[in-house]
Structure 1
Amino acid sequence: MDFSLTDEQNELVKTIRAVLNRHATSAAVRKAAESEAGYDVELWRVLVEEVGVASLAIPEEYGGVGFTWFETGLVLEALGYSLAPSPLLASAVLGAAAILQADDEAARERLLPGIAEGTSLATLAWADGQGRWSTRGSGIVATPGESWTLDGTATLVLDGGSADTVIAVAATPDGVGLFEVLDVDAIQRVNVPAVDTTLRFSTMTFSRVPARPLRLDAEAALEKIRDIAIVAVSCLQVGTAQRGLDMTVEYSKQRVQFGRPIGSFQALKHRMADMLVQVETARTAAWAAAWSAGTDAADLPERAASAAAWCADALDHVASETVQMHGGIAITWEHDAQLVFKRAHATGQLFGQSRAHRRRLGVLLGVTAG
């Protein structure tokens, strides 16, 4: 299968990189991560208004540009390289995917245009108290009545502190459903510190919060949403792995030991070659999964699980080598190697660890019992 980028896709990547080179310097990334919003508001405005990154995977009838999840993956790879914090994953991937998987056409027409424009930030409240993204339920319970209400707690809600559109996964008397929260101000939100300071998480507590059902038989929809989410994270990880490799190669040309650059030593050449293999194979796995997500291919579950497991392990390896080959400076707060390392550990836990994805892949392929 040929994953060569089209002229349009190459232009998209070129444009995104140019924007990030201007707005996402090391100092700018740190300033954005420490800000109240948790991301650079001006950078986000440029990305959504001038490039349209939030609209890529949203169909034209809902205010999007009608591309696919593959193009969104290319943007996330560039964002991963820059290490810039961004609400793209929470809003235009998790939130948009949940709404697209809803049975409610009116909700799609009402909610998706704002997400596509970037004027509305969405998120998905899903993980339970143990941080599990189960397709069979969550820590939230939906109670029917004159209107539906939500009670319970969702953890690890991406960009939950700034989201004005909240979609919740909740258990119902008949299974698991997707709900639109009607009064987001009624949610108790507590921001939770993350290992990776460029990611923002919140714990959301619901107490008789009014909600509208978007889909009541949502188990299959959640499988699809999870696959799209882990493909997006895989693309983000590929970009960060490439950043770690590039930083390490550049440093190996500058650092002199025993009268010569350390990059001239054969042992370190081998290690950097191994890093390159990890990056390129991870990119292949991520792009293949993103293509399946973008074309709604039947093999999406297998490719998503494969990419999630491989890309997480690849970034973990590259991040470790980045720290090791930068010596002592890599663990200082001022150096970006620690950001690569923390990104590896944080994203390696999102939507399940690599061993869980390998286990799922084995079940999907019929190699292991479910």
Structure 2
Amino acid sequence: MDENELRLLRESVREALTALSPSSEVRARMASEDGWDRATWLRLCRELGLAGFMVPEEYGGGGFSAVELGAVFEEAGRTLLCAPLLATAGLAVPLLLALGDAEAHKRYLPGLCDGSLIVTVATTDTSGRSLVEVGAVKIGHRDGTPVLSGAVGFVVDGAAADVVLVPVRTEEGTAVYAVAADAPGVTVTPLTTLDQTRRQARISFQDAPATRLGEGDATGAMKKALDIARAMLAAEQAGGAAVCLEMAVEYGKTRVQFGRPIGSFQAFKQKAASLLIQVESARSAAEAAAQAAAVALDPHAAVRLPGLPDLAVVASVARISCSEAYVAVAAENIQLHGGIGFTWEHDAHLYFKRAWTSRELLGRPEEHTERLAALLTERGLM
């Protein structure tokens, strides 16, 4: 897509999400048992194709790149969309594409695209350590069928998923297995989290039947998929940070104190300007990460998007920048609103909670700082 087409895409998605995910709907979903509405998700998938944006057209997807999907995630972050977008489009689809398993593509991608199937990816153990690095889940065999035993934690939309993709460490490297959520030996426990707009779960396996996806060592595919997911999460954070700043600025125009709008005070202007720098820096980092993700999935994209750093580096940069910006702007949004910003009725706290929990997902900024240093040292750039 060129810039004009991308702008039109943003406008279309924003219009749809404004109608389908207003504050009242977000609060209703927060209070519901599932945390999201299946009918709304089906509309988003079948009318806008949100879950299948990066899926090839032959499987029912849109055939777009991570650049376009990043724009979708940015708009979803603006409305605090309560739906399994990160689990499906951000995690499951990139992993399935990276694995390159044609049979798995036929089995899962069409259902993901039309919204009838929810697939998520387990990324950490119950202590938050990466499953690619620790052997939290063990593989065995029963009557010739692979079975998994162990536990994973903080699974995004784990309670809503029909299928969970689980990376398992083996002697040959990493293998990815698909486990049906209703299979025998699978126990799903919803977690109580700070952010009620995005549900997480703990999943235990006790000789749960599983199906291996792909062949050989899947470590590279898993790392690529996680970095693409980080790029999409960064875009979502940038969108959330932007709307928090807009909320604060709008309040500054209407709140009058000492006979003047508070937005006319120098202290307010200086704070808003500082926050704008953080928001724009975060957006730039997120866009660069989305472009790098597009190249990682489609080498031909490198012709259109030359000179990008590799995905691992730019994804970590985006996660650091967007995490810090979102938390800072969401916190200042509460402060700039004064007393009303601390009330349950105001939406400021919803963004603040999303900002903090997003910061912890797929690696905290401190972890990405260490990872970035290691990557740059490895490449001889430090």
What band does the TM-score fall into relative to the shorter chain?
A: over 0.9
1:132–1:351 CA contact under 8 A, matched in 2: no
SS of structure 1 residue aligned to 2:183: helix
Q: 1:180 aligns to what?
A: 178
Give the deviation of 1:45 after TM superposition: 2.1
Cα 1:137–1:100 shift into 2, 3 Å? farther
**Structure 1 position 252 matched with structure 2 position 263:** no
Worse-superposed segment, 360-369 or 332-341: 360-369
**Structure 1 position 205 matched with structure 2 position 216:** no
Distance, in Å, in 2 between the alignment partners of 1:264 and 1:293 is: 41
**Structure 1 position 83 matched with structure 2 position 80:** yes
Q: Output aligned runs, 1:1-370, within 5 Å.
A: 6-144=3-141, 146-182=144-180, 184-186=182-184, 187-215=186-214, 216-296=216-296, 299-366=310-377
The Cα offsets for residues 208-235 of structure 1, whole Å up to 9 and x where unpaired, read as 0011111451211121011011111101
Distance, in Å, in 2 between the alignment partners of 1:287 and 1:210 is: 40
Distance, in Å, in 1 between the alignment partners of 2:4 and 2:30 is: 33
SS of structure 2 residue aligned to 1:55: coil
Distance, in Å, in 2 between the alignment partners of 1:369 and 1:363 is: 10
2:327–2:356 CA contact under 8 A, matched in 1: yes
2:44–2:50 CA contact under 8 A, matched in 1: yes
Distance, in Å, in 1 between the alignment partners of 2:159 and 2:250 is: 37
Give the deviation of 1:40 after TM superposition: 2.9
Give the deviation of 1:172 after TM superposition: 2.5
Give the deviation of 1:155 after TM superposition: 0.4
Cα 1:49–1:103 shift into 2, 3 Å? closer
1:77–1:236 CA contact under 8 A, matched in 2: yes
Worse-superposed segment, 181-190 or 65-74: 181-190
Give the deviation of 1:47 after TM superposition: 1.2
Give the deviation of 1:46 after TM superposition: 2.1
SS of structure 2 residue aligned to 1:169: strand
SS of structure 2 residue aligned to 1:181: strand
The Cα offsets for residues 173-224 of structure 1, whole Å up to 9 and x where unpaired, read as 4332100115633310010011111010010000000111114512111210
Structure 2: gaps (5+ residues) = 297-301, 303-308
Worse-superposed segment, 340-349 or 135-144: 135-144
1:127–1:138 CA contact under 8 A, matched in 2: no
The TM-score normalised by the length of structure 1 is 0.94
Aligned letter for 1:362? A
SS of structure 2 residue aligned to 1:365: helix
What is the aligned length? 367
Distance, in Å, in 1 between the alignment partners of 2:194 and 2:276 is: 26
Give the deviation of 1:251 after TM superposition: 0.6
SS of structure 2 residue aligned to 1:199: coil
1:363–1:369 CA contact under 8 A, matched in 2: no
Give the deviation of 1:157 after TM superposition: 0.7
The TM-score normalised by the length of structure 2 is 0.91
Runs of 4 or more, structure 1, over 6 Å off, are: 367-370
2:96–2:105 CA contact under 8 A, matched in 1: yes
Distance, in Å, in 2 between the alignment partners of 1:64 and 1:139 is: 33
Distance, in Å, in 2 between the alignment partners of 1:243 and 1:160 is: 28
Distance, in Å, in 2 between the alignment partners of 1:302 and 1:183 is: 34
2:45–2:115 CA contact under 8 A, matched in 1: yes
Aligned letter for 2:256? V
Distance, in Å, in 2 between the alignment partners of 1:53 and 1:121 is: 13
Structure 1: gaps (5+ residues) = none
Worse-superposed segment, 189-198 or 103-112: 103-112
Give the deviation of 1:134 after TM superposition: 4.2
Give the deviation of 1:132 after TM superposition: 2.0
Give the deviation of 1:101 after TM superposition: 2.1
The Cα offsets for residues 308-359 of structure 1, whole Å up to 9 and x where unpaired, read as 1111001111111111111122121111000111111100000111111111
